[in-house]
Structure 1
Amino acid sequence: MTITDHQEWLVKFYQQRNWYQYSPFVHLNFLTEEMGEVSRAIRAVEIGRDHPGEKRATPGELQANLKEELADALDQVLVISSLYDIDAQDLLQASEAKLTRRFEGQM
């Protein structure tokens, strides 16, 4: 599966759930929420969580949770880009072009 294939699948999924029609501002809020969950997952991996109401997670569970939260954040970026008619593949190309220009001659 390519990133563009996933973006197309995701848009259809969101449309079926009636989530796609929300404005980019709402999806930005969802992205912010997901980034908080990424933060929490990284904290758990790096320094742990000392919370009496939580079961201690195994390294595999911590890694799986981080992967899930990163995927959720990526999905929100892909939905937002779709709302602006930006293909996911174009995001990757724009990133490489910007970094290549910015650091030209240093690599």
Structure 2
Amino acid sequence: MEISQHKTWITDFYQKRGWLQLSSSRRLNFLVEEVGELSQAIRKYEIGRDHPGDEVTTTQQDHDHIIEELADVLDEVLILCEKYNIDMDELTKHSETKLVNRFVTD
């Protein structure tokens, strides 16, 4: 599935559950929460358990957890794009243009 197809799918999924109409500030809170969970997943992958009570997991499970949390972050970004009518191609083009203008000197 391409990113634009997933954006349509996730938007429909949220709409059917009444989640799409939540305010942008609430959506931003969800994004921050997901970024925090991603941070924890990466920390666990990089340094292992950081509390003796943490469940022992395999490297593959830790890697899969990073994928899960990255997907959650992506979904929150896609919903914010939907709320502000931002096309994913426009978003990626803006990113590339900004980086080229900032860092490419030749």
Scaled to the shorter chain, the TM-score interval is over 0.9
Aligned residues: 106
Aligned residue number for residue 57 of structure 2:
57
User: Where does structure 1 lack aligned partners over 5 or more consecutive residues?
Assistant: none
Correspondence 1:93 to 2:93? yes
Correspondence 1:17 to 2:30? no
After superposition, the CA RMSD in angstroms is 1.1
Correspondence 1:37 to 2:37? yes
What TM-score, normalized by structure 1, do the two folds share?
0.93
User: Where does structure 2 lack aligned partners over 5 or more consecutive residues?
Assistant: none
Percent identity reads 48
Distance (Å, rounded) in 2 between the aligned partners of 1:50 and 1:94 = 38
Distance (Å, rounded) in 2 between the aligned partners of 1:91 and 1:53 = 42
- 1:33-79 Cα offsets, whole Å, 9 max, x none, are 00110010011011111333332110000000000001101110110
- 1:84-106 Cα offsets, whole Å, 9 max, x none, are 00012211111111111112225
Correspondence 1:27 to 2:27? yes
What TM-score, normalized by structure 2, do the two folds share?
0.93
Distance (Å, rounded) in 2 between the aligned partners of 1:104 and 1:46 = 31
User: AA paired with 2:50?
Assistant: D
